[in-house]
Amino acid sequence: MSPRKAASTKERIEREALKLFRKRGFDRTTLRDIAKAAGTSLGSTYYYFPSKEALVLGYFEQQMVEHERLAQEAFRASSDLGERVRAAFSIRLDLMRKDRKFFGGLFRSVGDVESPVSVFSKENSELRLRGIRVLEQAVSVPEVPEALRAELAYGLWALMLGMVLYFVHDESPEQQRTAELVTGSIDLIVPLVPLLALPQAEFFRERVMAVLDRAGLLPEML
C-alpha cells in the first residue's frame, strides 16, 4: 500500500470512529463496528489502531495541535495576562464544544488512571505536558516573574480540568455558565499574581503545589 493510500485509510478510520463515538458513545462502539463503517478489514483497523483508546488518543492529539495553533495566534495578538489566560481556556473549551457529549461519556475512563485515555495516564503524558506548556506560554508576560510561570501554569492546568468537567455537564444555552465561571475565576486570579511573586508568598505557593502533588495533579517532570 502506498503512503498516500495508507494515510487515506487511517484518516477514514479516524473519521468513521469519531462519527460512531458521537452517535453511540465510546463504550457501545467496537473496533469491528468501526472497521465496517470505514470499509476496512478488522485486521487493517487493528494495524493502524490496536484499540479504541488509541483512536481516542489520536483525536486528543488533533485537538491539542489545534489548541496550540489557535493559542499562539491569540498570544501574538495580546500581551495582557488576563486576555491570554482567558484565550487559552476559551479555545480549549470551544474545541470540545461539538463533542461535549462524547467527552462527557468518556469521563469515566478519563478519570481512571489505569485507562490509556485518562488525563493522568502514561500514554497521555506528552499531551498533558503540552497542555501545561500552552498555559505557561499564556503567563509568559513581563509582570509574571520567570520563577513563577511554571507553578502558575500547573495551577491553571488543574483549574482547567475542573472547568472541563463542569463544561461537559453544563446544559445552559451555549454553556454560558461555564463561560461566566471561566471569566470570573480568571478575573479573581490575575490580580493576585503580583502578590504570589512576593517572597512572603513562597510558603503559600509551596503548600498549593504540595496539595496538587498529593492529588496526583502534577506531571512527573516537576
Per-residue pLDDT, 121? 83
Task: Find where cell 490509556 sits.
Answer: 116
pLDDT tens by residue, the chain, 222 residues: 666 787 889 999 999 999 999 888 888 899 999 999 999 999 999 999 999 999 999 999 999 999 999 999 999 999 999 999 999 999 999 999 988 888 877 776 666 777 888 888 888 889 999 999 999 999 999 999 998 999 999 999 999 999 998 999 999 999 999 999 999 999 999 999 988 888 888 888 888 888 878 876 666 544
The CATH number assigned to the domain with range 1-50 reads 1.10.10.60
> What global pTM score does this model have?
0.87
Round to whole Å and give the CA distance between 130 and 139. 15
Report d(CA 142, CA 160) in Å as an integer: 23
Task: Encode 55-65: b = buried (16+ Cβ within 10 Å), e = exposed.
Answer: bbbbbbeebbe
- For 20: left if phi > 0, alpha if psi spans -120 to 50, otherwise beta; the answer is alpha
- Cβ count within 10 A of residue 54: 17
Return left, alpha or beta for 157; rule: phi > 0 is left, psi -120 to 50 is alpha, else beta. Answer: alpha
CA nearest neighbour of 111 among 27, 20, 216, 209: 216
Q: From CA 167, how far away is CA 164, in angstroms rounded?
A: 5
pLDDT at 1: 62
Task: Delimit the domains of the chain by residue range.
Answer: 1-50, 57-214
Q: Would you tell me the crossing angle of helices 100-110 and 146-168 to the nearest 10 degrees? A: 110
User: Could you tell me if 27 and 105 are in contact, meaning their C-beta atoms sit under 8 angstroms apart?
Assistant: yes
User: Is it true that domain 57-214 has CATH number 1.10.357.10?
Assistant: yes
* DSSP structure class, residue 27: T
Q: 3-state DSSP: the chain helix, strand, coil percent, rounded to 5?
A: 75, 0, 25
